[in-house]
């Protein structure tokens, strides 16, 4: 009997050795005590208007005959030449019916047609961008009819049904604006589609 117990003791000891028990409890303890890393990447509080450089607004009849829409161009960024201009049209009820983002180079590119030398100074470039913003919603950029009688449909713009509908409406109004050097864009409110469409 003593001989049997003598052989069982090392076996029992091996199954529950203190070293193994210590390792198990140590792993469990460390898993419970190690905290999640702190969130140091949380963004700081930002003032939504802090980067707004210039905002131009104009109220003009566009999507409804009785109530004018608000045309807005908001230039935001670190400086005039490294910024984005958000162009929106908002109805009298507050619904944004059109939104496009233009870059400072989009506004500045046509300066090449006015330059007297091979390059323009930073001051000249900034002055030109300011002038483009101030003149963006000039009355001359709103035209009626939206689609002239002599115009022909160009695939890739408004769908044909919306274009034809506007072509038949002499009272429809369009808005014209230049992007880059030569990309003249013409948009109009489509009563058929109930949205702003590009007609040129």
Q: How does pLDDT run across 100-111, given as a tens digit for each residue?
A: 999 999 999 999
Q: What is the dihedral of CA 179, 184, 190, 196, to 10 degrees?
A: 0
pLDDT at 43 over 80: no
**pLDDT for 147 beyond 60:** yes
Task: Give bridge partners of residue 185 from the DSSP assignment.
Answer: 177
Of 45-49, 111-115, 124-128, 168-172, minimum mean pLDDT range: 45-49
CA-to-CA separations, 72 to 21, 45, 96, in angstroms, rounded: 71, 26, 11
- Greatest extent of the chain over all pairs of C-alpha atoms, in Å: 117
Handedness of CA 149, 151, 154, 158 (dihedral sign): negative
Eight-class DSSP state of 139 = G
| pLDDT attached to residue 50 | 66
Domain locations along the chain = 52-198
Give the per-residue pLDDT at 178.
97
Selection from 16-20, 36-40, 79-83, 153-157 with the highest mean pLDDT: 79-83
Taking residues 71-75, what's their average pLDDT? 97
What pTM does this model have? Answer: 0.74
Q: Is the pLDDT of residue 11 over 50?
A: no
Q: Report the chain's mean pLDDT, rounded to a whole number.
A: 83
The string of pLDDT tens digits covering residues 150-183 is 999 988 888 999 999 999 999 999 999 999 999 9
pLDDT at res. 166? 96
Select the more confidently predicted residue: 39 or 162: 162
Neighbours of 162 (CB within 10 A): 20
* Residue 124: pLDDT over 80: yes
């Amino acid at each position: 009997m003593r001989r049997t117990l003598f052989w069982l003791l090392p076996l029992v000891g091996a199954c529950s050795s203190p070293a193994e028990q210590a390792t198990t409890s140590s792993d469990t303890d460390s898993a419970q005590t190690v905290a999640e890393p702190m969130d140091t990447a949380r963004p700081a509080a930002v003032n939504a208007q802090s980067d707004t450089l210039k905002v131009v607004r104009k109220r003009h009849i566009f999507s409804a005959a009785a109530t004018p829409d608000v045309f807005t161009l908001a230039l935001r960024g670190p400086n005039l030449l490294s910024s984005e201009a958000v162009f929106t049209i908002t109805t009298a009820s507050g619904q944004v019916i059109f939104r496009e983002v233009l870059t400072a180079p989009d506004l500045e590119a046509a300066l090449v047609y006015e330059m007297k030398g091979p390059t323009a100074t930073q001051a000249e470039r900034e002055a030109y961008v300011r002038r483009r913003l101030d003149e963006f919603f000039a009355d001359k950029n709103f035209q009626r009819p939206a689609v002239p009688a002599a115009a022909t449909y160009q695939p890739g713009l408004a769908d044909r049904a919306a274009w034809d509908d506007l072509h038949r409406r002499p009272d429809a109004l369009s808005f014209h604006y230049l992007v880059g050097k030569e990309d003249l864009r013409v948009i109009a409110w489509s009563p058929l589609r109930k949205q702003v469409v590009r007609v040129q």
